[in-house]
Amino acid sequence: MFQYLIAGLLAGVHRASWGAFKDSPYEGFRVQAYLRSILLSLLWSMFWFLWLPGKVSVVQPLYIFLMVILLDTLTVEIYKLFFRIENQKKYKIPSRFHLWNKEVNPEWQRNIIGVILSGLLIVIFSSLFSVNLGTDPTKRFFIGMMLGFIAGLCEAVGGMWKDAPFEGFEPLKFFRSPVVGTIAGSILFLFQTNLGVGMLATFGADRMLIETYKTFILRRRNGRFLSKKPLFSKELSLRKYLVIPYSITWIYLVFNFLGLVIK
């Protein structure tokens, strides 16, 4: 249980730190939002603790972390897209679900789409955990490459659906996720035989690596806000402190990955 709690806690810190670093110059730093993300990740880690043992024999902390990242991200995105009621005036790219550039209304239609999508994801993801890929690492490597590409392609299509009507289609941006997903999948499936664990971890790794690149390396302006200039200058200078907890989560990830390689 302890390793699940630690993985969940650090996954929450990871998600909360990158979200606050990216959004605080435009929305301000909100302590409750930061803590809420950590709490949500802890809840998802407890879900994995209760649900996985009967289905998977061994789940390393690295995979727990990445699967929590995925479920945290999906929970927040589905809530924003289909259930949250929020004034959209501050956004260049609406946070609510839209078909091309038209927001879906009335509210109940968005809610129904959200429920159906959530149900489909639950059925699809849960079915993956019944598949064991065997002990041949070469076979798993190539399966990981293929499934990683599919995972990245799914994320690329989702991003294009959301952003392209407002920012235009960017080929390099679109193919970035499939490339990262292919690399992540080929590596992660080397150390995990369960299809569900490997696939969900690959989705989580793809999202995490791309967000790290965009947010902390490129330092790109958050394009979803209408304002092109930060509205909270204080947060712009203070957000550098968020790099500290974010870096700690990366140390945890690297340490656990090296443990898998050495073993």
Digit-coded pLDDT (tens) for 33-43: 899 999 999 99
Confidence of residue 225 (pLDDT cuts 50, 70, 90): low
Single-letter residue type at 63:
Y
pLDDT in tens, 233-243: 777 778 888 99
In this prediction the pTM is 0.91
* Cβ 246 vs Cβ 40: under 8 Å: no
Confidence of residue 163 (pLDDT cuts 50, 70, 90): confident
Dist CA 127 CA 214 (whole Å): 32
DSSP 94: -
Domain ranges of the chain: 2-262
- The whole-number average pLDDT for the span 155-175 is 80
DSSP 99: E
> What pLDDT is recorded for position 148?
95
Distances (CA, A) of 30 to 86, 92, 219, 236: 16, 21, 20, 14
> What pLDDT is recorded for position 173?
81
- The whole-number average pLDDT for the span 54-72 is 91
Confidence of residue 63 (pLDDT cuts 50, 70, 90): very high
Q: Please provide the average confidence, as pLDDT, over all residues in the chain.
A: 88
Confidence of residue 95 (pLDDT cuts 50, 70, 90): confident
